[in-house]
């Protein structure tokens, strides 16, 4: 049973370009979470999605960031017009159940560098 | 303010020594998780605690959640270089939130 897959593992973008980060949850998991880890900081929640639904996006910056989890295919975190401050590690996690009380399985992360 | 406070921020110990990392909240926690992260990699799930007073062990690592469910400690006995990494506590601050809140992590270095 493959774990949570994220790609690419490393992404370099110039300021103003778009970044697309992909996350394939574990088989059987329909809940996906995106977290951001800035250098020297802990993980910060961004968004929680189920298939075709955004459940909680309270941690998403209001502009330039969007996320989706379509019926088919991976979850996508999209960052438009990237800026240097977007450089961070972006982690995706999945769980089989809604709500708390169940551990989330994390992917290896995508390290975004904005030059 | 930080909802989950982790201490210490970093720790350097000699191989073979014991150590403790703490995770504290001002709110009741509905689930407390410990993860380990190696630099540049993803998070590895270690343990989950849900009940007040609960204690779990895996190999040389023991985690406890206090009765009030506001503080957890992670204790490593006879540390080894393989224990080195960043330890993160995560918690469910709401009974049905789904998302986890994380502390800023504790960087552990074990000197051979």
Task: List pLDDT tens digits, range A15-61.
Answer: 999 999 999 999 888 899 999 998 777 789 999 999 889 988 999 99
Of A5, A11, A1, A4, the C-alpha closest to A78 is: A11
A45 chain-B contacts, CB cut-off 8 A: 99-102
Size of interface A-B (CB pairs under 8 A): 72
Would an 8 Å CB–CB cutoff place A95 in contact with chain B?
Answer: yes
Which of B100, B101, B105, B107 has the most A C-beta neighbours within 10 Å, making it the best mutation to test the interface with A? B100
Helix, strand and coil in chain A, % to nearest 5: 5, 50, 50
pLDDT value of residue B38: 83
Helix, strand or coil for residue A22? strand
CB contact under 8 A, B30 and A100: yes
d(CA A55, CA B97): 9
Residue of A3, A5, A6, A42 to mutate, interface with B, max B Cβ within 10 Å: A42
State the Cα–Cα distance between residues A29 and B11, nearest whole angstrom. Answer: 36
Burial (Cβ within 10 Å: 0-12, 13-18, ≥19) of residue B75: middle
Name every residue in B having a CB less than 8 A away from some CB of A.
6, 30-31, 33, 35, 40-45, 48, 50, 88, 90, 92, 94-105
Token pair for A22: 């992909």
Q: Where are the beta strands (DSSP E) in chain A?
A: 5-7, 10-13, 19-24, 31-37, 43-50, 53-56, 65-68, 75-79, 88-95, 105-106, 110-114
**8 Å CB contact between A110 and A8:** yes
Among B80, B28, B18, which Cα is nearest to B49's? B28
pLDDT score, position B41 = 79
**Structure confidence at residue B92 (pLDDT):** 82
Look-up of token digits 């298939």:
A51
pLDDT digits (tens, 9 = 90+) for A66-106: 999 999 999 999 999 999 999 999 999 998 876 555 678 89
Taking alpha carbons only, the member of B74, B80, B72 closest to residue B13 is B80
Interfacial A residues in 65-94 facing B (CB < 8 Å): 91, 93
Point out the residues of chain B with pLDDT beneath 70.
1-2, 95-98
Q: Do A59 and B6 touch (CB under 8 A)?
A: no
Reference A29, options A69, A64, A67; nearest CA is A69
């Amino acid at each position: 049973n493959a774990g949570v897959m994220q790609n690419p593992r490393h992404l370099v973008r110039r300021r103003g370009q778009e970044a697309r980060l992909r996350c394939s949850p574990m088989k059987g998991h329909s809940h996906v979470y995106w977290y951001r880890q800035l250098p020297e900081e802990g993980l910060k929640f961004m968004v929680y999605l189920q298939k075709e639904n955004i459940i909680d996006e309270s941690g998403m910056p209001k502009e330039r960031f969007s996320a989706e989890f379509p019926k088919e295919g991976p979850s996508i975190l999209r960052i438009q017009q990237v800026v240097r401050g977007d450089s961070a590690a972006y982690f995706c996690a999945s769980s089989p159940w809604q709500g708390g009380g169940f551990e989330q399985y994390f992917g290896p992360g995508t390290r975004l560098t904005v030059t | 303010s930080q909802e989950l406070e982790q201490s210490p921020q970093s720790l350097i110990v000699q191989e073979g020594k014991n150590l403790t990392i703490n995770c504290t909240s001002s709110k009741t926690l509905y689930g407390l998780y410990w993860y380990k992260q190696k630099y540049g990699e993803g998070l590895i799930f270690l343990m989950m605690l849900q009940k007040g007073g609960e204690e779990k062990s895996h190999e040389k690592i023991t985690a406890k959640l206090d009765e009030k469910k506001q503080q957890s400690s992670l204790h490593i006995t006879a540390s080894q270089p393989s224990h080195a990494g960043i330890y993160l506590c995560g918690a469910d601050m709401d009974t049905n939130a789904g998302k986890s809140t994380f502390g800023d992590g504790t960087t552990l270095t074990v000197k051979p």
